[in-house]
Structure 1
Amino acid sequence: MTLALPREVILTETESGVVLLNEKDGRFWRLNGSGATVLWLLLEGRTPREAAEELSAAGPQFLERATADVHGLVDALRSAGLLVAEAP
């Protein structure tokens, strides 16, 4: 499953991460540096597991926490309509 931004969502980089703006409803989300890194990895076609592995590069003991955080972010962004699954 590849994840993508819907057409109505604009991504803008900031000094501390990214902002996602849904032009349809005017709502926006701010993601910090870690959240932005995860989002970029997902948009590049990486899986949530691969993104978690990248986040936990500091040590394998962090993989479980990183995996939970990545899945939480994906779920939140999908629920908000800011991230969708694309057909392969």
Structure 2
Amino acid sequence: MSLTLRPEVRATDTADGMVLLDEVTGRYWQLNRTAALVLRSLVGGAGPPDAARALRAAYPRLTAERAADDAASITRALAEARLVVPA
């Protein structure tokens, strides 16, 4: 399941990850490098399992189970915050 940012959400890369701004509500979210990597994977057409593999590639000490849990958790948090929708 790939995702896309909602039309009113803007993303800006930062030195430590990414910032998302909902232009309608004025709320913003700061993502660390891990969450930013997962989001980039998801909006690039990957699903959560692919995002988990990207995490493992970026952080080789991360176990497959932890990477899958992190990718799923980040995906769920982005959806619950209404920042993303299915692509």
CA distance in 2, matches of 1:6, 1:13: 17
SS for the counterpart of 1:18 is strand
| Correspondence 1:1-88 to 2 at 5 A | 1-57=1-57, 58=60, 62-86=63-87
- Taking structure 2 as the reference length, the TM-score comes to 0.90
SS for the counterpart of 2:24 is coil
Matched letter for residue 68 of structure 1: D
- Taking structure 1 as the reference length, the TM-score comes to 0.89
CA distance in 1, matches of 2:4, 2:54: 19
CA distance in 2, matches of 1:82, 1:33: 17
Q: 5+ residue gaps in structure 2?
A: none
SS for the counterpart of 1:7 is coil
Matched letter for residue 5 of structure 1: L
Aligned length: 85
Q: 5+ residue gaps in structure 1?
A: none
Q: Is the 8 A contact 2:37 2:54 kept in 1?
A: no
Q: Percentage identity across aligned positions?
A: 42
Pairwise CA RMSD: 1.2
